[in-house]
Structure 1
Amino acid sequence: MDLLKVLAAVLLVFAASTLAMLYVIYLMAQYGANLPMVGAVPLTAPPELIPLLAQNQVFATLAAVHVTATGIALALASNTLDTALLITAKAVTVVITSLIGFAGGHMIYLQLNENTPLSASGIAPALIALAGYFALSTALSVPSLRQLGNLRFAVAIGLVLLGPLLLVWL
């Protein structure tokens, strides 16, 4: 439940911060045109950045490696590995949520200023990655899977085999 609260807070803070940032840029462009930095921050850049960031294969690659690492950690008995993988999954979940917050704030800005329709199609890969990492940080975390007893060894083998397949599929 704490993770959900953090994700909601990050989403709202990044969306609001993006709106504030874009309106400050807009106001500076309108009323401070002689400032040298205004020309270096075009308002047209963020729409091109959203698909680039959201469809980046970094999250899919990290997820595939994380699944394999979870399998290896299940076969071993290490609280350090368990904790490291859990922290990593939660951290990546928060980073992806901040990206989605940025994209949401920018889409709201475009809706308010240019009547651009709101569409989640550009951030669909990030939403899928968010769901995957949320699962890896909750129900599919190493501490959760350890509760399976000796069945965890079969799950470990499955996860080690699933990691490379995810890399190809995603």
Structure 2
Amino acid sequence: MSQDTTDLLKVLAVTLLVFAGGTLVMLYIILLLAQYGANLPMIGSLPLNAPPELVPILVSNGVFATLAAVHVTASGLALLLTSNTIDMALIIAAKAVTVVIMALLGFAGGHMVYLQLTENAALNLNPLLPALIALIGFLVLSTALSVPALRRLGNLRFVVGVAAIVLGPLLLIWF
């Protein structure tokens, strides 16, 4: 495992913990404000039930599948060209989306812990499955299947590039 991959995994772990903890604290503050500050302007109208619906909506609307399809197509084009700037842009984009997905999972985890502690609600991870699949996909796109890693294939990169250009739209159709 390369140092870049190790660093990315550390960032992902910290992102998950920070967003889970931040969500937990935020929801408890909202709960406290709603209970003890309900007569204050604007605080009494804070929605306590909005966050759980956000995660499935964000995950199921196809944003991550669309980004993955475009990323695969752009990677195919980048393999046909020679540009370190494009290569770095694609790596940074894949890592950024990976971190955003991990932040979303951290938010969902923090919210689930909050619901478990306050309402003894059952944990349901099924709505998070698309986000977990997207996380794995973008983690692979930012490490093993990154453009610099595929450039090491030599001239075979042109075949892989053409295949990626064709595969991108198919991914959009499949997902």
Quote the residue 2:10 is aligned against.
5
Kindly report structure 1 stretches of 4+ aligned residues shifted beyond 6 Å.
none
- Inter-partner Cα distance in structure 2 for 1:16 and 1:10: 10
Cα pair 1:18 1:105 within 8 Å, conserved: yes
Q: Which one-letter code corresponds to 2:124 in the other structure?
A: S
Quote the residue 2:84 is aligned against.
79
Alignment partner of 1:48 is 2:67: no
* Structure 1 position 47, deviation (Å): 1.5
Q: Deviations over 1:36-93 (max 9, x none)?
A: 2223321111121121112221111011000000000001011110010000000111
Q: Deviations over 1:8-62 (max 9, x none)?
A: 0000000000000000000011111111222332111112112111222111101
Q: Which one-letter code corresponds to 1:117 in the other structure?
A: A
Cα pair 2:34 2:46 within 8 Å, conserved: no
Which residue among 121, 126, 147 is the counterpart of 1:116? 121
After superposition, where does 1:6-155 map in structure 2 within 5 Å? 6-155=11-160
Unaligned runs of 5+ in 2: 1-5
Moved more, 38-47 or 111-120: 38-47
- Inter-partner Cα distance in structure 1 for 2:44 and 2:52: 17
Quote the residue 2:3 is aligned against.
none
Q: Equivalent residue of 2:44, what SS?
A: helix
- Counting matched residue pairs gives 170
Q: Which one-letter code corresponds to 1:105 in the other structure?
A: G
Moved more, 38-47 or 128-137: 38-47
- Inter-partner Cα distance in structure 1 for 2:79 and 2:165: 10
Tell me the TM-score normalised to structure 2 length.
0.95
- Inter-partner Cα distance in structure 2 for 1:101 and 1:128: 15
- Inter-partner Cα distance in structure 2 for 1:58 and 1:89: 14
